[in-house]
Amino acid sequence: MMLASLHPVHHCPGRVRWRYQPGRAALDEAALMLAIRELAGVNSVRLNRRACSLIVEFDEQVLDALQLGERILALNPAPRSHAPLASEPATSRTRLAANVAAMLGVNLLPIPLRLPLSLLMTLPVLRHGVGELTTRGLTSHVLEAMAVSISLASRDYLAANTTAFMLELGEYLEDSISRRSDDMLRDLLKPSSDEIWVERDGVEVQVPASEVAVGDTVIVGTGMVVPVDGTVLGGEAFVNEASMTGESRAVAKQRGDAVLSGTVLEDGRIRIYAEHVGQRTAAARIADYVQQSLTAKSEVQLQASQLADQLVPRVLGLATGAFLLTGDGRRSAAVLQADYSCALKLATPVAFKSAMYAAGKAGILIKGATALERLAEADTFIFDKTGTLTNGDLVVTDSVTFDNAYSADDLICLAASVEEHYFHPLAIAVVEASRSIKGRHFDHTEVEFIVAHGVASEIDGKRIVVGSRHFVEEDEGIDISRHQAALHQLYLEGKTLLYIGYGGNLIGVIALRDTVRHESAATLARLRASGVKRILLLTGDHHDRAMELAEQLGIDEVFAQLLPEDKASIIEELTAQGARIAFVGDGINDAPALAGAHVGIAMQRGADIARISADIALLKDDISAVAQARELSCSAMSLIHDNYRLTLGANTAILGAAAVGLLSPIAASVLHNGTTIGILLNALRGRQA
């Protein structure tokens, strides 16, 4: 049975949710859901493997919840979705068993039967070698076929069968390790829903995922995967976002909160306004990146493959030389057992994929091996200021009144009363400050919003304006000259000023500042410890403000008062000077810089175009993930270089020992294949980084 037990969690008329315990048989979701749907009285089925949740809607006139549970537990459908995948390892194991039997029994057979059996067991090796020779030229498979042929010609049937067994065992384990590294990356993806519940004309209906459109209201309940990116319209729930952010704890979601596709609703029920659907969701984009990463090759992978191919003729030359000098065919066969191809070509991609898996589990999406390699190569890190090293959220630092009739708190409350209708960062900060002091609300007339300037209204018959200096001084004609000294001092402190005019006079200003992320200093220190030589800051802010942040965090160089296009120009200029730049940004105007850098990193709250342009996207709003990604990349490259040296050293030693007659063909085969498997297993260590 696929399910060992069902425990009711929630039951209402026509609907029941169970928490299930998997049975001994492998759980095939597709087969089980199909079998449940075919039960009499069942209307719909939803199963979430991660939450071990099963939800069934049924007709109570046909059966009750108890009867339904008993029938589900009795089901034992034949697995469907993974059968083709399972057959390949089974076939390989059958071939391995046959090779073992031939290797152990060949010398026990009558002499006339030894050659036919050996030819039968080594035929795949010989056929593969001939095929490679005629289509691709001299490769490692040709060397293996030559080694087997020499053993057969010299009637060393044990050596021929041992070689065939070791090659089959090596291929089986290499394929298993390679598939495992691919599967680790695919494990980062969450299954999409084929059917989605939406609200249409006030009625909840289930529709195919392809029919869901932007603007639809999507219903998600306990145990379900969120199928769209959007905003919660109503309801409350706890959502596990580990697949998207790396955060292991479930996060409470309520009206106004953002939710991402691919996350799992663990408890509760919410209505979501769909903002991104189908292939435009975060989960779909991540799926595309992961699929691309499984096939893309980095520079170091290409170099390893080229070196492996270049060494094949040298191994053949060594084997030929050994035979010409000694006339010993067994010695030549031993030399031909050891080549560099397998370990060099397979260990590098396995190490890359393992590191990318570890990064994905930590909330860091690395779009391919090339991005990982380039991040390790970067010697210069450039940060855009807002939203990266700073939180990107303004907070009120000062409330300065120029009219004794109003206190500092009154000033905040006046501004908040007219700003509360808008969602500009300045307005949000002022309203939050008013709430923190539990300030009073001033009644006012309809608020007028002037784009890029401020807001205006009337309180007690007098006009109140809140906004920029240009708006208050030039558009509204309010004199601010008397307060120039105080205003200039706040400006030098790196603060943003919100001017408040009431009744034609400037009654005060509210100063705000973007706060530095508490982990920024530690992140920069970790980057330096990982070998980064220079750290720079780019910003459109005033130079004095930027220098203050640079001194606080220990940044080497500052470029301030920049236009958006200046960032890409600076990166181009530094690249021309030989710098390998990693750029960290989040805004729409950062996209050219992200694309032009040696490697681009986009913050979690970044604009869509920035995240698309970047080579690495952070799935959690944490600047320390930049340092974590750098450390993972350096660790992966170190592991790759270690495996590279180990491959060359071990196989060169085996070749040397075989050439001088210290190793038999059997010993050379065992040592070579054992070394290759060990190196591949070592490459998997990157997933634990």
Q: Retrieve residue 237's tokens.
A: 């729930």
> Which secondary structure element, helix H or strand E, spans residue 473, and what is its range?
none
Exposure string for 451-463, b = 16+ CB within 10 A, e = fewer? eebbbbbbbeeee
CA pseudo-torsion sign 446, 447, 450, 456: positive
Which amino acid, one-letter code, is at 531?
G
CB-side neighbour CA atoms (13 Å) of 190 = 28
Query: Concatenated DSSP letters for 273-335?
Result: EEEE-GGGSHHHHHHHHHHHHTT---HHHHHHHHHHHHHHHHHHHHHHHHHHHH--HHHHHHH
Would you put residue 430 in left (φ > 0), alpha (ψ -120 to 50) or beta?
alpha
DSSP structural state of residue 446: P
- CB-based contact 242:281 (threshold 8 Å): no
- CB-based contact 247:620 (threshold 8 Å): yes
Residue 276: φ, ψ to 5°:
-135, 130
Residue 618: φ, ψ to 5°:
-85, 130
Cβ neighbors of 104 (< 8 A, separation 6 or more) are none
Residue written as tokens 């030819």?
119
β-pair partners for 219: 197, 271
379 included as an active-site residue: no
CA pseudo-torsion sign 478, 484, 489, 492: positive
Q: Comparing C-alpha atoms, which of 431, 357, 384 is closest to residue 607?
A: 384
Exposure string for 163-188, b = 16+ CB within 10 A, e = fewer? bbbbbbbbbbbbeebbeebbebbeeb
Q: At what angle do helices 157-186 and 341-361 cross, to 10 degrees?
A: 20
> Which secondary structure element, helix H or strand E, spans residue 481, and what is its range?
none
Cβ neighbors of 299 (< 8 A, separation 6 or more) are 370, 373
Query: Concatenated DSSP letters for 347-370?
Result: HHHHHHHHHHHHHHHTTEEE-SHH
CA–CA dist 371, 553 (Å, integer)? 27
- CB-based contact 294:185 (threshold 8 Å): yes
Q: Comparing C-alpha atoms, which of 216, 242, 240 is closest to residue 229?
A: 216
| 3-state SS, one letter per residue, for 581-644 | EEEEECCHHHHHHHHHCCEEEECCCCCHHHHHHCCEEECCCCCHHHHHHHHHHHHHHHHHHHHH
Pairing verdict, β 380-384 and 581-585:
parallel
- CB-based contact 428:512 (threshold 8 Å): no
Q: Comparing C-alpha atoms, which of 399, 426, 535, 402 is closest to residue 481?
A: 402
Per the residue annotation, which of 384, 410, 541, 590 is the catalytic one? Answer: 384
Q: Active-site residues: which are they? A: 384
